[in-house]
Chain A
């Protein structure tokens, strides 16, 4: 079936099977490979994207369900080479190591800001990151990055 949607502010369309997952559509058809696949049970959160302003694990959504939606991926955050404040905070606070979970962490960070505002305590961020797994960082610097990124988003 054919789907039409908006991805990172631009019109996109594609021919998908009924079983095609949104993450596979983004990666394989649109070649937006910044969104990653780290598991097959919707646990790791490496594939988190924004769909109509809400964070979604793009492995839990069929591409067909995204028809007509407004999707933002990690590729849609920066202004050219100028990083979004949340991305910049990850760089400034060493919030990433291998980079594989990072796109999902950044998108989840933005979702936490959307739901909890820009003054975040560490416990809230740690609790809200329950759906994102990182093996490298031990999370401390991710938490720090999200808190600082949240504050910087108001500047």
Chain B
């Protein structure tokens, strides 16, 4: 292993600038002549707009323009699109209502965009926005996920009768019913998966600049995927032709999914800067993030498991209603369908799985992918159901899992729900987790807690997820409008240092470090001589960006392939220079050597020769700069077992996470320090969902949890230090042997926590977030 190559916990290249306060986030960027934008938003969940009088606002001090949906429509901009088709049970595509970037005649959720006010200063824009006179005629609102499609509900969109976006059954219902009919026992559970606000710490922002000389728009913005943003804004929103639009995602303060999507604000800012022919800057505040970022989760489900007399799973059936909000966000339809139902097998060899997903519209913010996206919902449902099965069969929760695991010699394993798992050893992770967590000593710890008046419980969660998104052909078959390969370009400069251009985007994951380690390892170039560049459509080749824990598993492989091409080209150049046959040249540790001799040339010398090709092999192009694309052959399937121990105070319902163990299979680790950081963050995200976070709208569609004072984010004292272990297997489909690690914690943690609480208080189920009130009430009914 090279000191700073694969497997080393190298300190991050990113950190120096962030620690010095020299990061450059979108809101930090200011340009000459810039104006400031403020979005006027709907205070109503559902209303007809009978008129907008912006004359007083337009005349207010400093105001440059007030623009509405009519202006946007007149310029032919928008509407916003959803890029994945799900076929409903009537054979028709999902219902897709119009989604204008600025409201046209109607608003459908609190925070919906009504107008943009542009002024010399932000305070002038805010002051003027109060002068815009919007005549609303309020309509009844729909905010309940479970009731949205029910009888007599207010209809939100003409194109979606009963507020249904799609009904999507999947699996062999008849065979499933048959298995249930002959089952020894049927266990069932009903639960909600609580709605989350993703809340990366940097709110969204955009700065649009238009150059009337080149007719080019430059849009700095908070994005996880600059090229995808450019593509959609150009091809579907008519903002500008792709070659006249530059999208830059500079430093981005976290994403977790929320910055994947094409939102109204960034599109409108891009359009408005051309309209007013001045730079326009919008910096969202946290209230806007709560109102208008795409939210996550929000399912209501019922699940049943058919068991034989030994506690083996025979069949599972699931009914889920998923709330998609008022409009379809960019990838919303795929989250409760393909990213959910295809993960319902989990780690188990359940032969039959049948699911029905009903996706509904409500007068709430759009719902889309959020850290884990569909997989946390599937895992939570399944792992809660497994614990209920264990209770019903009077089996230890570890034992029922072990009995039903897909055995390690069964890989590759074709699940009944499309996915074919390529590698895994679920018992190894379970065993290691039980040892790290000292499962054997739990009874004594519970006894000791009892002496202090506390109820101590233990909970398991054995998850599998599909990430490394995604094989393009599979995406196409499922109705996705894109390919999900990744690109890389690895360029030697004549002086021997290396620039790596990746189509992924780093917003906390540390790609500048991890990818440099890959190149350092493969090319033998010193780590400090490697720079990773991402996030600017004018600097990097087309790429698909970062989400679904795909950057290393897909983007990293593209980088490795580009390095392979460089090594191969360099072999020809070195052979010529050292007057040897190409077949006699060996490459190792950055040096080309003539086999069996001490003649050698460093790759930096080869690069220089390629740029100054005075003595050069015939037929070889000058230059030392290669690009590569990688389209994965399969998803990657990280898996693991998490074990949580809680202590519940039965008098107050307060829950303390007393201990937490995570043993994961991420394949090969490139930078263990970074991987562990991703695991920590994911687990706390999951603990947040389990104990604290719950986005609530009232019956009139007002957002009740609209700030950090009402919506409880996990803080430093909500979690202990974690016990972390790894049980890696080698994924045969991934040339680097890597899997993804960014979402695992958020997927594994919620059921581990809730299973522990249920175990502590002897309840069959406790809903998330398990606030003290919820837990106290559960204690009362359990007692």
Binding site for B on A (CB under 8 A): 17, 19, 27-28, 31-41, 43-44, 46, 73-75, 78, 81, 83, 87, 90-92, 94, 96-103, 106, 122-123, 125-127, 129-130, 132-143
Contacts and interface: CB of A to CB of B under 8 A. Distances in A.
Contacts of A17: 123
25 contacts: A33-B25, A33-B28, A37-B203, A38-B201, A38-B202, A46-B201, A74-B20, A75-B20, A90-B19, A91-B15, A94-B11, A96-B15, A97-B681, A98-B200, A99-B508, A100-B23, A100-B254, A129-B715, A129-B716, A133-B713, A135-B713, A136-B254, A136-B677, A138-B722, A143-B716
A8 to B, nearest CB: 10
A140 B20 contact: no
Interface string B703-743: 00001110001011101011000000000000000000000
B287 interface: yes
A100 B25 CA distance: 9
Given A97-B681, A130-B716, A137-B681, A36 B18 contact: no
A102 to B, nearest CB: 5
B253 A36 contact: yes
B510 interface: yes
B441 interface: no
A136 B707 contact: no
A41 B716 contact: no
B21 A32 contact: yes
B376 interface: no
Contacts of A96: 15, 18-19
B14 interface: yes
Given A40-B285, A122-B721, A136-B254, A75 B708 contact: no
B182 interface: no
Given A19-B123, A98-B200, A41 B15 contact: no
A101 B30 CA distance: 21
Nearest to B14: A99
B674 interface: yes
Contacts of A83: 16, 19-20
B25 A36 contact: yes
Given A96-B19, A102-B18, A142-B716, A91 B12 contact: yes
Contacts of B366: none
B707 A41 contact: yes
B20 A135 contact: no
A106 B19 contact: yes
Given A99-B19, A135-B713, 9 more contacts: A33-B27, A33-B28, A100-B25, A100-B200, A100-B253, A101-B253, A135-B199, A135-B681, A138-B680
A101 B713 CA distance: 14
Nearest to A84: B19
A109 to B, nearest CB: 11
Contacts of B200: 98, 100, 135
Contacts of B21: 32-35, 73-75, 103
A94 B717 contact: no
Contacts of B508: 97-99, 136
Contacts of A98: 200-202, 251-254, 507-508
Interface residues of B, number: 58
Contacts, number: 182
A63 to B, nearest CB: 13
B22 interface: yes
Contacts of B287: 40
A99 B12 CA distance: 12
A43 B15 CA distance: 24
B685 interface: yes
Contacts of B16: 81, 83, 91
Contacts of B682: 138
A97 B509 contact: yes
Given A91-B19, A100-B201, A135 B716 contact: no
Contacts of A136: 201, 254, 508, 677, 681
Contacts of B709: 41, 43
B715 A133 contact: yes
B253 A92 contact: no
Contacts of A125: 716
B19 A135 contact: no
Nearest to A38: B201
A94 B677 contact: yes
B431 to A, nearest CB: 24
B256 A135 contact: yes
B778 interface: no
A106 B20 CA distance: 10
B585 interface: no
The 8 closest A-B pairs by CB, nearest first: A34-B21, A100-B253, A99-B18, A138-B680, A98-B508, A43-B708, A138-B684, A33-B28
A135 B680 CA distance: 10
A43 B24 CA distance: 23
A122 B254 CA distance: 25
B683 interface: yes
Given A91-B16, A134-B201, A127 B286 contact: no
Contacts of B256: 135
Nearest to B28: A33
B588 interface: no
Nearest to A102: B18
A127 B716 CA distance: 7
A40 B253 CA distance: 16
B673 interface: yes
A132 B253 CA distance: 15
B717 A126 contact: yes
A107 B98 CA distance: 47
Contacts of B719: 138-140
Given A40-B285, A83-B19, A98-B252, A137 B680 contact: yes
Given A38-B202, A44-B708, A91-B15, A97 B716 contact: no
A101 B201 contact: yes
Contacts of B251: 98-99
Contacts of A132: 715-716
Given A81-B16, A98-B253, A101-B201, A44 B286 contact: yes
